[in-house]
Amino acid sequence: MKKWGFLLVVCLGLTFVNVDSFFEPEVKIQNANQLESNKENSSSSEYIQKEIEEEQIYQGNLLLVNSEYPVHPDSIKSDVINLSEGNELTRGYGVLNSEIYLSEDVAREFSEMIAAAEKEGVRNFSITSGFRGFEEQSVLYQEMGSDYALPAGYSEHNLGLSLDVGSKQMKMADAPEGKWIEENAWKYGFILRYPKDKTDITGIQYEPWHIRYVGLPHSAIMKEKNFVLEEYLDYLKEEKQISVSMNGEKYTITYYPIPQTKTINIPDDSYYEISGNNMDGVFLTVYK
């Protein structure tokens, strides 16, 4: 699982998203008195400074890849593995062939999700596609055309964070596996990247099989607010900083523009993760 931490410094405009219940989340906005109180409570915190390099824009789980923002060489996950060679990672689901690749971290999160689905009696999952290199993507694009594939460098599959999930019994749009993914994947850090009601934003037709790993709490916020990735990243940039309560933990997500930001302050007693957006900045997510 990813490391996180709790950022104690808050600023005006901080948004609190309460998702203590996975099933009945609600949004709360702090008032001015609460903000001032939080500032006073955080005044005794100690921080470490972390330098931010420009290449961090292109690294992490929140990278936007679409027709406008292609995959950067630094964005490709370094832990991509062949799933057919890791038996413990494919327990509970099948793979289409022996050439299915995926980030090892993402594969572990997916396995955890499939184990949860199996406990609910949904167990006919199969990965039909995972990570694709640029050459493989180029061949696919030439064979299938622009209606069914994206050019090399403009597909999330070139990152290692996305995968196509099928059912062994029927089409995902009709299968119990597809319905389960749409309702529950966000609890495990995954999002349905191209939903039916957001084609005007994503520019991609409805794909009930294509899921993308962004991690918690991001997937929870996106589910609650019915955001696709494009909308979520715009939301974070506009708010600058939000605080999320979920399962007894408080997370804070802060946006830092690059190259204006050279260093960021992180509470020295917290876990954290930094992700770029593949555009113009990075997001710091922390909790303790």
CATH of the domain at 227: 3.30.200.180
Which is nearest to 75 in space by CA: 52, 62, 59? 59
Respond yes or no: is residue 230 known to be catalytic: no
The answer to whether the beta carbons of residues 156 and 69 sit under 8 Å apart is no
- For the chain, 288 residues long, give each residue's pLDDT as a single digit of tens: 433 333 333 333 455 555 444 444 443 323 233 434 444 444 446 899 999 999 999 999 999 999 999 999 999 999 999 998 866 888 899 999 999 999 999 999 999 999 999 999 999 999 999 999 999 999 999 998 887 788 999 999 999 999 999 999 999 999 999 999 999 999 999 999 999 999 999 999 999 999 999 999 999 999 999 999 999 999 999 999 999 988 888 899 999 999 999 999 999 888 999 999 999 999 999 987
Token readout for 224 is: 């609650």
Residue 273, helix vs strand vs coil: strand
Please name the residue that has the structure tokens 């709360």: 28
**88 and 207 part of one domain:** yes
**178 and 96 part of one domain:** yes
* Domain interval for residue 146: 68-213
Q: Please, what is the angle between helix 218-225 and helix 229-239, to 10°? A: 100
The size of the chain, in residues, is 288
**107 and 237 part of one domain:** no
End-to-end CA distance of the chain: 14
User: Taking the CA atoms of the chain, what radius of gyration do you get in angstroms?
Assistant: 19
Residue 47, helix vs strand vs coil: strand
Beta strands 15-18 and 241-246, pairing class: parallel
**234 and 203 part of one domain:** no
Instruction: Give the residue from 213, 238, 255 where a domain finishes.
Output: 213
Instruction: Give the residue from 213, 244, 266 where a domain finishes.
Output: 213
**135 and 182 part of one domain:** yes
Beta strands 241-246 and 263-267, pairing class: unpaired
Which is nearest to 250 in space by CA: 277, 223, 220, 283? 220
**171 and 225 part of one domain:** no
Residue 241, helix vs strand vs coil: strand
Token readout for 281 is: 């900045």
Instruction: Give the residue from 213, 239, 274 where a domain finishes.
Output: 213
Which member of 207, 230, 239, 249 is catalytic? 207
Per-residue confidence (pLDDT) for residue 1, from 0 to 100: 41
Write down the pTM of the prediction. 0.86
Per-residue confidence (pLDDT) for residue 14, from 0 to 100: 52
Token readout for 158 is: 């070139």
**174 and 184 part of one domain:** yes
Per-residue confidence (pLDDT) for residue 246, from 0 to 100: 86
CA distance 159 to 139: 17
CA distance 16 to 26: 9
**176 and 203 part of one domain:** yes
**236 and 253 part of one domain:** yes
The count of domains in the chain is 2
